[in-house]
Amino acid sequence: MTPLGEQIKNLIRLEGPISLERYMSLALGDPRYGYYMTRDPFGAKGDFTTSPEISQIFGELIGLWCADLWLRMGRPAELSLVELGPGRGTLMQDALRAMKSIKGLIPALRVSLVETSPVLREAQRAALEPSGAPIEWHNTVSSLPQLPTLLIANEFFDALPVRHYQMHQSQWHERLIGLNEHDELIFGLAREAEKSIPLKAADGSLLERCLIGEQIMRELAVHINQWGGAGLILDYGHIHAGFGETLQAMRGHHYVDPLAEPGDVDLTTHVDFERLATIARAQENVVSGPIIQADFLEALGIRERGQSLIKSANPAQAETIISAIHRLTDRSPKQMGSLFKVLSFRHSEMPIPAGFNN
Ligand code: SAH
């Protein structure tokens, strides 16, 4: 067992079984041993790969998505550009490079990165310093600049802790993590029923809720409503809410047991886009999508951009570009083009953003 696993077992011995939310918060964010706090998990040698790490075109298109909105907002003199969970900073690096082609945009930018990991903050600093744009870091979304805002979150919401509830004898019970007789971490159910959930379901049904993500979504929508602008969320998840769990653990590009090595494996869940959209609308934001990533990237011109890069590429580079575009837009089941969804929310006076029809 990992050192963090031993720490979690001690906690359970002292306090009794803990919620999945607490377990995930420790496994991902414990200051000493948390998964994101101690490493750079991305790329072929890491545990998983994300869209901006697959192709520079991804970040470039998102940069131009922002640039187009800035122009149609009437070129505000100051624009807060925010990214949640920027990883290595690759998306923002590619976005800023693409934005340089739009006169006056870079000097208007104030870039804020919401990031809790010291290791990844350092990687972001190294990637973004050469851009010359002013960059600041925030631990949470509550302290974002009070300015018109464009906000990006790629694979951020899937990394937030969730709670699980299971229907047992017609009542919801929270799923907890405790210890079995061999001193191993196991899932169980809280004795007390959770009376605050009004949903009805068959016995055995599982309900997954990301209350932390919902709270962040609420704060972002309030921010946009107050200061103007728009947000773009890209992540794997479902268009319609339903029952069932989606918790998964990844190590070295393989699925592993989520309770086996806390702190050493990535834990994620699928994002409930329907709920995020409902929360944004409740704060008087207008919502576009969710649509599948393939439709979004193709509408933004991923193929045309690929063609123009290929013109100055050698055959091996051209092959890499073609396969990266295919990976990002593959519509087969469970591939990135269809599994990933894109949702945008905006102030009621903003135009429809690029990539969406309404
Ligand atoms: N957007 C990047 C990285 C995705 S991984 C990419 O597409 O490559 C998730 C990112 O969110 C990491 O940077 C991680 O450190 C950060 N993160 C996870 N939980 C967070 C939290 N509660 N607050 C801020 N950042 C968080």
Distance 302 CA to ligand 1 centre (A): 24
Nearest CA to ligand 1 atom 2: 87
Tokens representing 311 are 């013109």
**224, amino acid identity:** I
pLDDT at position 241 is: 87
Mean pLDDT for the stretch of residues 262-275: 97
Nearest CA to ligand 1 atom 10: 85
Q: Which atom of ligand 1 is nearest to the CA of 53?
A: 8
In 3D, which of 214, 200, 118 has the Cα closest to residue 167? 200
Q: Which atom of ligand 1 is nearest to the CA of 85?
A: 11
Mean pLDDT for the stretch of residues 45-68: 96
Pairing of strands 109-114, 79-84: parallel
**349, amino acid identity:** E
Mean pLDDT for the stretch of residues 37-56: 92
What does the pLDDT look like over 146-204, one tens digit per residue? 999 999 999 999 999 999 999 999 999 999 999 999 999 999 999 999 999 999 999 99
Distance 156 CA to ligand 1 centre (A): 5
Tokens representing 13 are 């011995």
> Dihedrals φ, ψ of 177, to 5°?
-115, 125
How far CA 28 is from CA of 214, 235, 252, 261, 354, in Å, comes to 18, 18, 16, 11, 34
Q: Which atom of ligand 1 is nearest to the CA of 155?
A: 4
Distance 84 CA to ligand 1 centre (A): 7
**248, amino acid identity:** Q
Distance 13 CA to ligand 1 centre (A): 31
Nearest CA to ligand 1 atom 14: 85
Model pTM?
0.97
Nearest CA to ligand 1 atom 25: 115
Question: 229: which strand partners?
Answer: 149
pLDDT at position 63 is: 98
Q: Which residue has the tokens 């809280």?
A: 190
Q: How confident is residue 285, by pLDDT bands cut at 50, 70 and 90?
A: very high
d(CA 249, CA 1): 16
Distance 211 CA to ligand 1 centre (A): 17
For the chain, give the percent of residues with pLDDT over 90: 97
The mean pLDDT value of the chain amounts to 97
Distance 86 CA to ligand 1 centre (A): 6
Structural domains in the chain?
17-159+210-253+264-345 (3.40.50.150)
Burial bucket for residue 255 (CB in 10 Å: 0-12, 13-18, 19+): exposed
Mean pLDDT for the stretch of residues 255-263: 96
List Cβ<8 Å contacts ≥24 apart for 193-197. Answer: 194/165, 195/171, 197/165, 197/172
Pocket of ligand 1 (CB under 6 A): 36, 42, 50, 52-53, 85-87, 91, 114-117, 120, 154-156, 159-160
- For every residue of 233-277, DSSP letters joined together read EEEEEESS--SS---EEEETTEEE-TTTSTTTSEEE--EEHHHHH
How far CA 58 is from CA of 14, 28, 53, 304, 328, in Å, comes to 47, 26, 9, 13, 8
Nearest CA to ligand 1 atom 3: 87
Q: How confident is residue 45, by pLDDT bands cut at 50, 70 and 90?
A: confident
Please give the sequence-ordered ranges of beta strands (E in DSSP) within 155-202, or none if there are none: 163-168, 171-179, 185-189
d(CA 209, CA 207): 7
- Pair 96, 186: CB distance under 8 Å: no
What does the pLDDT look like over 94-143, one tens digit per residue? 999 999 999 999 999 999 999 999 999 999 999 999 999 999 999 999 99
Mean pLDDT for the stretch of residues 207-213: 97
Which of 156, 211, 215 most suits a substitution to test ligand 1, by most atoms within 8 Å of the C-beta? 156
Distance 170 CA to ligand 1 centre (A): 37
Helices (H), the chain: 3-15, 20-29, 35-38, 51-54, 56-72, 90-99, 105-108, 118-128, 211-227, 273-282, 293-299, 302-311, 315-329, 336-339
Cis ω before 41 (30° cut-off from 0) = no
Whether pLDDT at 46 is above 90: no
